[in-house]
Chains A and B, each alone.
Chain A
Amino acid sequence: MISALWYSARVRAWAAQIALLAGLGLFLWMIVGNTVENLTARGIRTGFDYLWRPARFPISESIIRYDASDSFLWAYVAGLANTLWLSLLSIVFATILGLFVCLARLSHHPVLSYMTGVYVTVLRNVPLIVQLLFWYAIATSVFPAPRAALNPLPGLFLSIRGVYAPALIVEPGGWFFLIASAALFIVALAVGLWSARRARSFGAPILLAALAFWAATNVVLYVALGRPLKLEMPELNGLNFSGGTNLSPEFAAIIIGLTIYTSAFIGEIIRGGIEAIDKGQWEGARALGLSERVVMFKVILPQALRIIVPPMTSQYLSTVKNTTLAVAVGYPELGLVVNTVINQTGQAIESILIMLCVFLSISLSVSLFMNWYNARVALVVR
């Protein structure tokens, strides 16, 4: 009887599992015990009530309004806003640049494609943090003084005090214009897509007509409201610039570094997706007499997207996580704010928990979206 139990695979499996569970429980219990003991020994109070106390430390730049009299909670929110702002900008720029990288790599031009290959290889094999520090060193030591600022594009100035770009000035009526324009765009896109789906062969012209209608209404509205948006160019006044928007050297270094680093990965992901499509698909579509544009947009891209989207999402996700490296150059994103709060209050457990929860919820929501998308585009096998 006993030996039957001893040699039964099921009993053994359950015994092992219960032992594992008990071990983990004991481990957690010990950790909690240790922590409580350590905290009382060091006189650290735990709890989240510090969140409502004034933070009393400055954040050097923030895209939402923050000053030192705001609460710790608001300091975290400001840090998170900076993190999301950095992520959004670098993802958009890196995707555009990555597309060019991919096109240059796939072009049959020998020199251009080789150069892009070198670009991708070098960027992918050097740690991001080294690249960020490198760009920061460039932005703070190689860029010239404002008077001799580099001017690569009209209205864009690179100087040792940071990057100056044109600012969008919203005058009275400007917000109304922006909201109305966005609403009209959604309506035009929805109507355009809906009718394009109804009339298949005329799909593209209908969509274009809807967008042209949107553009025309925009012009009319813009003039009717008395030109409520203006671009303000930065101008050199004496020793510094006035007007325009000023990006700090830290911000500029991170945006440049993250964009360039990520573009190398994105370029390779897109190239991988397009090259993975069987040559027969190109040949078959051409043999049917489809135009090159239709081959690309109706045959190749829909299949390539199915391959591209999953690695692309995880690349976007790691870009969000990579923004935490901004700590190294001192840009106040969430990680740096958390670090400052720990130094100021000693509330290490709470601060780190908040940081972990924020990133976990971002990661989990993106992977939920991914699963939904994958289920949607997955090949339906009949």
Chain B
Amino acid sequence: MSEQTATYGFMEPQSPPKTARKPFFKLLFGDLLSATLSAVTVLLLLALIPAFNWAVLDAHWTVRSPSDCQSGGACWAFIGAKARLILFGLYPPSEQWRAVLVILLIVGMILVSLSPKLWNARLLAVWGVAVGAMLILMGGGVAGLPPVPTSKWGGLPVTLMLAVLSLGLAFPLAVLLALGRRGRLPIPRAVSIFTIELVRGLPLVGLLFVAAILLPLLLPPGWTIDKLGRTLAALTIFAAAYLAEVIRGGLQGLDEGQIEAAEALGIPYWKMIWHIVLPQAIQNVIPPLTNTAIVMVKNTSLVLIVGVFDMLSAARSATTDPAWPAPSTEAYLFVASIYFVICFGIAIYSRYLERGVAARTHG
């Protein structure tokens, strides 16, 4: 027995065995299982051929008149003809540059904010100014810009603004809810738990119904918030409840000693939260936070149900043009690709952030 232990003791640490790279043919058809899987794959790819034919080979890219799209393949010319309606909705064409500017402003601000090194109070202030500028640009009525009522807003700017504003407004609310739920005071805790569980138990469609139909009944007579504002409120509350649970996860992962040390040093509560608790808590939950951001971008499309003219509603109304034969599939594919670019972009960014966190904590 002791001899055996001794042998183990003298074993040299070995380098991991070299994994032989199988030749490609053997990888695909080497044994029964992989051959079966290859057959399945081939069948799946064969099933995609009609879709490929429809989308590329038989497709109409440019047409002289809508009726040229009658036969077979996809009618991408429809997207070209309706891009303006899908992207900008009913926004007055003469003022369209303002909507374009809003999109550029949002994209630019997001690009500027990508690097975590720039996250500070000044960036927050710049965001505040930018959001104000967006609202003025879209709404007009000052500095010689003709006013455009929110009922004329539509398309991609509305989708982007709903996503950015709902997340931005929800974040501070979510922090308060999470702190309340984690805190020692019974009343804030009860209020937070009630709010979070209530909102998370409901489908967003239900909340949007509340905002669109019920909210006008709850406000004092004479007060009116337009539909866009009400749906934004519903999206904000929804996002706040989900973000609060994510942030609570971060708070739970925080070492208790951090708070005890801060209290022992006599640091006031809110300073401790701002400088010690939140930075660490949020860093721990970056992947689920970006996940919630993706979910919220996708959720903005639900405003279609209560009749807000976002990109999806604009696409749907574009398909009702009787001049074009049944172009819905193409329109939805176009909208889907825009959502995909945004959401997948956030997912890639999340991976980049995670690598940064990993490098700082382990490197």
Chain A residues engaging chain B, CB cutoff 8 angstroms:
13, 16-17, 20-21, 24, 30-31, 34-35, 37-39, 41, 104, 107-112, 115, 121-122, 124-131, 133-134, 136-138, 140-142, 321-322, 324-325, 327-328, 335, 338-339, 342, 348-349, 352, 355-356, 359-360, 363-364
Minimum CB–CB distance from B285 to chain A (whole Å) comes to 16
**Taking the nearest CB of chain A, how far is it from the CB of B71, in angstroms?**
13
CB distance from A321 to the nearest CB of B (A): 4
**What residues on B are CB-neighbors of A349 within 8 Å?**
214, 217
When the two chains form their complex, are residues B209 and A112 in contact, meaning their CB atoms are under 8 A apart? no
Which residues does chain A contribute within 8 Å of B198, judged by CB atoms?
360
Given contacts A137-B329, A352-B213, contact A125 B339 (CB under 8 A): yes
Stretch at the interface among B1-9, B10-18, B84-92, B185-193: B185-193
Bound CA–CA A78/B304 (angstroms): 25
Contact between A359 and B302, CB atoms less than 8 A apart? no
| Contacting residues, chain B, for A134 (C-beta < 8 A) | 328-329, 332-333, 336
Residues of chain A within 8 A of B221, CB atoms compared:
34, 37-38, 41
User: How long is the Cα–Cα vector from A172 to B278 in the complex, in angstroms?
Assistant: 68
Assess whether A355 is in contact with B209, with CB atoms less than 8 Å apart.
yes
With beta carbons under 8 angstroms apart, the residue of A112, A138, A356 that contacts B202 is A356
A125/B343 in contact, CB under 8 A: yes
Once the chains are docked, how many angstroms separate the CA of A356 from the CA of B319?
A: 33
In the assembled complex, the Cα of A13 lies from the Cα of B213 at a distance in Å of: 38
Given A335-B206, A359-B201, A360-B198, A17:B187 Cβ within 8 A: yes
Whether B217 pairs with A38 at a CB distance below 8 angstroms is: yes
Q: Mark B198-226, 1 if CB is under 8 A from A, else 0.
A: 10111111100110011011111100000
Enumerate 20 A-B pairs (CB-CB under 8 Å) in ascending A order: A13-B185, A17-B185, A20-B191, A38-B217, A107-B37, A109-B27, A109-B37, A125-B294, A125-B340, A125-B347, A129-B304, A134-B329, A137-B328, A137-B329, A140-B328, A348-B217, A356-B206, A359-B202, A363-B200, A363-B202
Residues on B with beta carbons closer than 8 Å to the beta carbon of A339:
209
B326: CB under 8 A from chain A?
yes
Interface core residue of A20, A39, A356 (most chain B CB under 10 Å): A356
Q: Is the CB of A359 within 8 A of B206?
A: yes
B182: Cβ under 8 A from any A Cβ = no
Q: Kindly state the separation between the CA atoms of A226 and B332 in the bound complex, as whole angstroms.
A: 51
Of all A-B residue pairs in the complex, the 10 with the closest CB atoms, nearest first, are A137-B328, A363-B201, A321-B203, A125-B343, A127-B298, A324-B205, A141-B326, A134-B332, A127-B301, A109-B37
B344 part of interface (Cβ distance < 8 Å): yes
Instruction: Please determine whether A129 and B41 come into contact, CB atoms closer than 8 angstroms.
Output: no
Q: With a CB–CB cut-off of 8 A, which chain B residues contact A138?
A: 329
In whole angstroms, what is the CA distance A355 to B214 when docked?
13
Chain A nearest CB from B252 CB (Å) reads 15
Residues of B within 8 A of A (CB): 27-28, 34, 37-38, 40-41, 44, 185-188, 191, 197-198, 200-206, 209-210, 213-214, 216-221, 294, 298-299, 301-302, 304-305, 312, 316, 319, 326, 328-329, 332-333, 335-336, 339-340, 343-344, 347
Given known A13-B185, A133-B312, contact A31–B206 (CB-CB < 8 A) = no
Q: Roughly how many angstroms separate A319 CA and B230 CA in the complex, as a whole number?
A: 25
Using Cβ atoms and an 8 Å threshold, which residues of chain B touch A338?
Answer: 209
Q: Is the CB of A325 within 8 A of B205?
A: yes
- With a cutoff of 8 Å between Cβ atoms, the chain A residues found around residue B328 in the complex are 133-134, 136-137, 140-141
CB atoms of A348 and B214 under 8 A apart: yes
Residues of B within 8 A of A363 (CB): 200-202
Known contacts: A325-B302, A352-B213. The answer to whether A112 contacts B335 by CB under 8 A is: no
Residues on A with C-beta less than 8 A from B205 are 324-325, 327, 335
> With A34-B220, A355-B206 given, is the CB distance from A111 to B28 under 8 Å?
yes
Asked, given contacts A335-B206, A352-B206, whether A141 binds B329 with beta carbons under 8 Å apart, the answer is yes
CA distance A338 to B205 in the complex (A): 11
Cβ contact within 8 Å between A35 and B329: no
The smallest C-beta distance from B275 to any residue of chain A, in angstroms, reads 20
The answer to whether A20 and B301 touch across the interface, beta carbons within 8 angstroms, is no
CB distance from A127 to the nearest CB of B (A): 4
Task: Say whether, besides A133-B328, A138-B329, A126 and B304 are in contact (CB < 8 Å).
Answer: no
- Which residues of B lie under 8 Å from residue A115 when comparing CB positions? 41, 44
Contacts of A16 in B (CB 8 A): 185
Assess the A17–B188 pair: CB atoms within 8 A: yes
Report Cα–Cα, A355/B336, bound state, in Å: 30
Q: How far is the CA of A359 from the CA of B201 in the complex (A)?
A: 7
User: CA–CA, A123 to B197, complex, Å?
Assistant: 28
